[in-house]
Amino acid sequence: MSDDFPGWHGTTIIGVRKGGKVVVAGDGQVSLGQTVIKGTARKVRRLSPGGYDVVAGFAGSTADAFTLLERLEKKLEATPGQLQRASVDLAKDWRTDKYLSKLEAMLIVTDGTDLYVITGAGDVLEPEHDVAAIGSGGNYALAAARAMMDTDKDAETVAREAMAIAADICVYTNGRLTVETIG
């Protein structure tokens, strides 16, 4: 890709753990430069390798993210019920494998108990304050959600309202959400 290519932008994904549930929500906008290419993309998925439910949301290149989700699913099949181990194994492969290291995406994953952000730098991060957010509007959603965590709002309400705030601020984020709850 040349340096003057405008690049794919946009996505906000948030994970909120509260009240025994974890909600992962993502917007539907895909942009190329300053143009919205699609407004209804589904960037949050439920994986069920071997009957073990995991919810994953991705930011970045869609093809790259699908490659990573497939790899995560294989790791989960090899280590059923061990999201942390599967996530660490994926992060190691992502960082060290010549092909995978070129992938441009980030993941938020949860099994309803654990919540992680997985990056191509080899990071598997468990967020502080039970909120994780990635993508172009991630910081806006993160700040909004953290401000609501001490209220009586449930995890889904916190996630939806944080996403609405991010969509109002970030031009690469829209309000067409995919929301998955687990736990």
**Residue ranges for the binding site for Na(+)?**
167, 170, 173
Per the annotation, binding residues are 167, 170, 173
- Catalytic residue, chosen from 11, 12, 110, 181, is 11
Q: Is the distance from CB of 26 to CB of 16 less than 8 angstroms?
A: no
Question: Cβ–Cβ contacts within 10 Å for residue 48, how many?
Answer: 10
Query: Using CA atoms, how far apart are residues 14 and 24, in angstroms rounded to an integer?
Result: 6
Backbone angles phi and psi of 64, in degrees to 5: -65, -45
Query: Using CA atoms, how far apart are residues 178 and 141, in angstroms rounded to an integer?
Result: 15
Q: Is 96 a catalytic residue?
A: no
Q: Which residues contact 173 (CB under 8 A, 6 or more apart)?
A: 10, 11, 12, 27, 29, 135, 136, 137, 140, 163, 166, 167
- Annotated active-site positions, please? 11
